[in-house]
Structure 1
Amino acid sequence: MTSASFLSDFHAVAAIGATPNNGVDRQAATAEDALTRDWFAVWVQEAGWELRVDSIGNMFALLEWTPGAPFVIIGSHLDSQPLGGRFDGAYGVIAALHAARRISADVDAGGELPRFNLAVVNWFNEEGGRFAPSIMGSSVYAGLLSRDQMLAVTDLQGTSVSEALEGIGYLGTAEAPAAAGYAEIHIEQGRILEREGISIGVVDSSWYTQKLDIEVLGEQSHTGATAMADRHDALVAASRIILMVHDVTEEFADEALVSSVGQLTLEPNSPIVVARRVHLIADLRSGDPEVVKAARAKLIGDIDALARKYDIKVNVKDFDIRPIRRFPQEGLELAEQVAAGLGLSSRRIQTMAGHDSVAMNTVAPSVMLFIPSVDGVSHCEREFTTDEDMVLGLDMLTGVTRELISGALANSATGSSDAVNSALPGADAENAAALPGAVRA
């Protein structure tokens, strides 16, 4: 039960799907993801715990002390981005396994019988790199996404979630445990904790997220034989849209809005053919929903003008809109008390990124914890957190979990949501009207 065994496990998992520059590539339901799932399954079986895999591929390790009682769930995810970092997600799963083993040993040694049972989870497809949207498994668990619709989602090669999970042997049939609470520890993926020299971030809320699904339709033609004046190049238009998404942040205060285009597909993708179609996903995030609303409106207007100028068609649909979610005050205070008891400094912090805890916070009182990220980088091979900070985080998660299974948040409500979707034009993409001539929003 020492920190050495935890670090040994962490670095062993980091070797699965390892990339040349100390990252990992374990996208959801790939062969590499299957190997980490196999590792999780063997670990759980050797610990003597029950293993369940539900119908969206979430894996649960169950420690049941009181038959019929609900479970406090702790964990994160083992899948990664392409050429991703070895800490993102995996740290939270492995820390949860070791926290659960520490607590189990105490109970077995005659400690107080907890009020709630305990489960460690590996959520399916948190990253969303292969299958969109992200945070899939926990969102299905929480009832925020339809299981059947998510099983039908396909990757860029046309493979569905259900086919991929079945192909690696992890399309389960078991019932997921009922949640009495949830806790997750994660690297910060920013540099606030490092900059301020603080050990633990206690997450109080998530940022508002709005994605745009953008389809640019031009006309396919010969790159050599077609006169420049006669071309309707979807890629040229798409490149200008990408710059619009980047530049829209300049309309607002520094760091009030972050934006990016992270995925782009091109047809026919031939070196001698002018592109007929480009599909891309734009991502807008802010702590203020009104900033996202204003940025979206500007982009829609600018894209419409672009489409008219270049005589092409651009279809824009709202996609994956997530309101601000606030974590329960009682959970924040609990985490701060645990940190103080361990002699660890802490501060409250927002999460700009999405996490499984944000979904779980809708169905069970949840606690989200951060440990420092070196240089604040993530989703890349350079992602790094020290062994010392990981071990302190393990101690922190263990302390919070002990309190949760004892019923510390039993009377707390789930976190609140700033429900402002209705204020965002076109929040229902199917009912949104097309802008004149060019853009469907």
Structure 2
Amino acid sequence: MTQSGFLDDFRQMSAFGATPGGGVERQAASAADGETRGWFSAWLAGNGFRVETDAIGNIFGLMEVVPGAPYVLVGSHLDSQPLAGRFDGAYGVLAAAHAARTAVGSVSQPRFNVAVVDWFNEEGSRFKPSMMGSAVFTGLLGVADALATTDPAGTTVAQALDDIGGRGAFAGLDVAAYLEIHVEQGRELEETGTTIGVVATTWTAHKLEIVVSGEQSHTGAAPMADRKDALYGAAELIVAVRRLVDEFEPEQLHTAVSEMYLDPNSPVAIAREVRMLVDVRSPATHILDTAIETLKTRIDEIRRLARVDIEIVRVTEWSSGPFLEEGIVLAAEEAERRGHPHRRSATVAGHDATNMKEVVPTILLFVPSVDGISHNEREFTSDDDMLAGLEVLTSVLTRVVAGELEAASSSAVALSSGVELG
């Protein structure tokens, strides 16, 4: 592996779904995502990996160096948000592949095999929930439910994957540990002059899918007193969601309404229905719980005010919690040994590591994001920081493959996305 080789590969990969603003758009199972997946699969095959795809579209590159032994899994995701940056997720997948290739050749007496993974639909922009591929793989979400999920146009995950040849029959593998590196999507590393973030904990997050139901009528003719305007009710709810943060200390609660669909969306019809997604996050579970209860009270008030019905139809959540302390120490040691400033970090964003840490020993690393910009074409991480992260990830992976992470050495978990074809 050479540094220039990684950067060349990254630039080539970034051409798929490239946007005029310097980012990428390759939502899950889109044509651009399919092209990226094809390129990556060919890269894996050309570099000695056995390539497999499971029922939910996760791509695995396997290197078996200890027949019958469990695998250390390392990866991230290639899909993106609309008009997104080219680093989020994709950097971690390519870094994983380069690190795995180097680690396999560096360990004289490996204890584990190595597998690289591109998780399907981490972003959740086309299909909900986010982190879908890793959720299915870890048993948090059933494969049949995931495949039946539709995008706003009514296309199912199964249909979309089939359109790009993205479903396989891989039965899964025994996983001893999981490693991931990601751009920070925040400013802490940059502001503190730190190169490597070693993630110690996650925020708690609730994503509420909400339907506001009113009654369709004429925008001009209907008397104001008779109106049951779903969009008015949704507008009041949007304001209530934003004002939730004012009831807590700064940066203890993050809220957003991140998705909204309006019916009939006609210039002369009052909305009969609004579907929206409310995102609420906090570093403390009790704060988030309080915020959700407060929001439910506001919803009751808005129902009466706007004369509409408001229903929470689905809640997707992940809980805060620590990452493996032994892994944090090991990663910090390698950053120190390689001469890179490091610090313990928390992740506000969800990552596939968030799912994986619930079932196997997991290490998550960050590299800086310039100005903290993410999910935006202006997202940027320097070549030097990408290469520093690759160096540390390779060192950490090498040690874990050699059996130096005791938690990984003590047990392995059989994980599978199931096989549901047809």
Is 1:216 matched up with 2:232? Answer: no
- What letter is aligned with 2:398? R
Matches within 5 A, 1:8-87: 8-87=8-87
What is residue 384 of structure 1 aligned with on the other side? 380
- What letter is aligned with 2:9? D
Bigger mean CA deviation after superposition, 218-227 or 274-283: 218-227
Tell me, in whole angstroms, the C-alpha distance in 2 between the residues paired with 1:256 and 1:392.
Answer: 31
The partner residue of 2:146 within 127, 133, 150 is 150
Q: Secondary structure at the match of 1:260?
A: strand
**Greater relative contact order (CA < 8 Å, ≥ 6 in sequence):** 2
Tell me, in whole angstroms, the C-alpha distance in 2 between the residues paired with 1:306 and 1:358.
Answer: 34
Bigger mean CA deviation after superposition, 120-129 or 220-229: 220-229
Contact 1:207 1:287 (C-alpha < 8 Å) held by counterparts: yes
Cα displacement string for residues 277-334 of structure 1 (whole angstroms, at most 9, x for unaligned residues): 0010101100111111111111111111111122211112451121113111100000
Tell me, in whole angstroms, the C-alpha distance in 2 between the residues paired with 1:146 and 1:45.
Answer: 29
What is residue 267 of structure 1 aligned with on the other side? 263
Q: Secondary structure at the match of 1:92?
A: helix
Tell me, in whole angstroms, the C-alpha distance in 2 between the residues paired with 1:224 and 1:247.
Answer: 31
- What letter is aligned with 1:26? R
Bigger mean CA deviation after superposition, 127-136 or 41-50: 41-50
Matches within 5 A, 1:251-400: 251-400=247-396
Cα displacement string for residues 44-66 of structure 1 (whole angstroms, at most 9, x for unaligned residues): 11112200001110000001111
Is 1:193 matched up with 2:193? Answer: no
Number of residue-to-residue matches in the alignment: 410
Q: Secondary structure at the match of 1:38?
A: helix
TM-score, with structure 2 as normaliser: 0.95
What is residue 425 of structure 1 aligned with on the other side? none
Tell me, in whole angstroms, the C-alpha distance in 2 between the residues paired with 1:6 and 1:300.
Answer: 49
Contact 1:53 1:170 (C-alpha < 8 Å) held by counterparts: yes
Tell me, in whole angstroms, the C-alpha distance in 2 between the residues paired with 1:48 and 1:386.
Answer: 29
Is 1:228 matched up with 2:224? Answer: yes
- In structure 2, the CA distance between the partners of 1:394 and 1:33, relative to structure 1 (3 Å rule), is same
Cα displacement string for residues 202-231 of structure 1 (whole angstroms, at most 9, x for unaligned residues): 001110111222111111011122222222
- What letter is aligned with 2:99? A
Runs of 4+ in structure 1 over 2 Å off: 103-106, 227-230, 410-414
What is residue 431 of structure 1 aligned with on the other side? none
Tell me, in whole angstroms, the C-alpha distance in 1 between the residues paired with 2:330 and 2:288.
Answer: 32
TM-score, with structure 1 as normaliser: 0.91
What is residue 177 of structure 1 aligned with on the other side? 173
Q: Secondary structure at the match of 1:314?
A: strand
Bigger mean CA deviation after superposition, 309-318 or 248-257: 309-318
Contact 2:232 2:306 (C-alpha < 8 Å) held by counterparts: no
Contact 1:357 1:368 (C-alpha < 8 Å) held by counterparts: yes
Tell me, in whole angstroms, the C-alpha distance in 1 between the residues paired with 2:345 and 2:311.
Answer: 37
Q: Please, which runs of 5 or more residues in structure 1 have no aligned partner?
A: 415-441
Tell me, in whole angstroms, the C-alpha distance in 2 between the residues paired with 1:267 and 1:371.
Answer: 42
Q: Secondary structure at the match of 2:198?
A: strand
Cα displacement string for residues 412-432 of structure 1 (whole angstroms, at most 9, x for unaligned residues): 589xxxxxxxxxxxxxxxxxx
Tell me, in whole angstroms, the C-alpha distance in 2 between the residues paired with 1:130 and 1:45.
Answer: 28
Tell me, in whole angstroms, the C-alpha distance in 2 between the residues paired with 1:339 and 1:222.
Answer: 64
What is residue 246 of structure 1 aligned with on the other side? 242
Q: Secondary structure at the match of 2:316?
A: strand
Shift of 1:103: 2.2
Q: Secondary structure at the match of 1:411?
A: helix
Q: Secondary structure at the match of 2:100?
A: helix
Cα displacement string for residues 155-195 of structure 1 (whole angstroms, at most 9, x for unaligned residues): 11111111111111011111222211111000000000000
- What letter is aligned with 2:133? G
- In structure 2, the CA distance between the partners of 1:320 and 1:241, relative to structure 1 (3 Å rule), is same
Q: CA RMSD in A?
A: 1.2
